[in-house]
Amino acid sequence: MTISLFKAQLDVDAVLDELRPILESGWVGLGPKTRQLELELAQYVGAEHVVATSSCTAALQLALHALYLPRGSVVLTTPISFASTAMVCLSEGLEVRFCDVEPDTGNLDASKLEEAIERHRPKALIVVHLGGYPCDMHAINHLAKRHWLPVIEDCAHALGSSYFSEPVGSGGNIYCYSFHAVKNLPTADGGAVASESAVVAERMRRLRWLGIDKSTADRSGTSGGYSWEYEIEEAGFKAHMNDLSAVLGLVGMRTLEAGNSRRRAIASRYASEIVAGTPPDYSPLRKSSSHFLPMHFGDRAAVIRRLEAAGIQYGMHYKPLYRFGPFAGEPLPGAEAYASTELTLPMHLGLSDEDVSAVIDAVNWRV
């Protein structure tokens, strides 16, 4: 029997109960359930405004677009992330450059940031809370303010994370979340962008719906009438969430905290019981959502062989982006060190205590 790396856990009965009236209503697109999810997310992360999108990639692109950066501007980010973080920069006609990372956490190294800013002269900064562990935002925000840089926080892994007891999403930056099928809040696919600015949020609402100032739901009203009048103030994208995905999110919100607590318990067992590898040095002042825990192994190939023999899936998050053609650049020592030893072990709510023990035993075999 295979132990999977990631696996979505959904309350099927609750989802079906909530979906039935939506399906029977005939309104399954962008509508009231999407708005309800936005309000619940805003309360959960401590943000003033949340705009639900079709993916975190879409959220990142809306966030960048909302900054009015001139084409050709440099955006500074981390090389240890999924391709979306850098790809959206290219999609917006921007250049992407990389700051090195901490070799154990994989997060952007705040001690290397000022040097990278002075070298690359960016117009914006994107940080990634890898695996859900928050970056050193006090230091990063301090440098960003000194250099007049807007900050986008890629929180694809970090729904439920906190920094000095404050939820990730409750500060003055722009925050982008993922609800992809394997994330802590799965909605099949989806995302959201949070901001303290009503002006920025309203613009992103227009941008996600092709720049149109009123959604179809807004123009339908509650009296049964329908208005075809709307304005297009600027070119936008087809990037909104729909009410079917929103229902999955609303049901998932009910158990998100419990689910994150379970993930943290699994991460704690890996960190304390795996003697063949080394966990990252996490600060107790930064609370991870534990989407995954990057473990490091001197002989990673041997660990992989043991996992494969036991039928246990594994991953590597992530190869440095500068190794790929669209983002090609010079190697960075912290990123190379991270990528040479990191291994991601199964981390999801479908794991029993016995499954977690099986993973630990396989990794520790003959150690």
Per-residue b/e over 26-36, b at no fewer than 16 CB within 10 Å? Answer: ebbebbebbbb
> Given the structure tokens 């909104």, which residue do they identify?
240
Distance of CA 358 to the CA centre of its chain: 28
294: its two tokens: 């990057």
Q: Is 17 helix (H, G, I), strand (E, B) or coil?
A: helix
Cα distance between residue 352 and residue 358, in whole Å: 10
Name the nearest CA neighbour of 83 among 62, 106, 60, 63: 60
CATH superfamily of 256-364: Aspartate Aminotransferase, domain 1 (3.90.1150.10)
pLDDT for position 225: 56
Sequential pLDDT tens for the chain (367 residues): 799 999 999 999 999 999 999 999 888 999 999 999 999 999 999 999 999 999 999 999 999 999 999 999 999 999 999 999 999 999 999 999 999 999 999 999 999 999 999 999 999 999 999 999 999 999 999 999 999 999 999 999 999 999 999 999 999 999 999 999 999 999 999 999 999 999 999 999 999 999 998 776 665 654 455 567 789 989 999 999 999 999 999 999 999 999 999 999 999 999 999 999 999 999 999 999 999 999 999 999 999 999 999 999 999 999 999 999 999 999 999 999 999 999 999 999 999 999 999 999 999 986 5
Q: What is the DSSP letter of 61?
A: H
| CATH fold for domain 12-253 | Aspartate Aminotransferase; domain 2 (3.40.640)
Burial of 25: CB neighbours in 10 Å, binned 0-12, 13-18, 19+? exposed
Domain ranges for the chain, please list them. Answer: 12-253, 256-364
For residue 339, the number of C-alpha atoms closer than 13 Å in the C-beta half-sphere is: 18
Report the distance separating Cα 82 and Cα 80, nearest Å.
Answer: 7
For residue 128, the model assigns a pLDDT of: 98
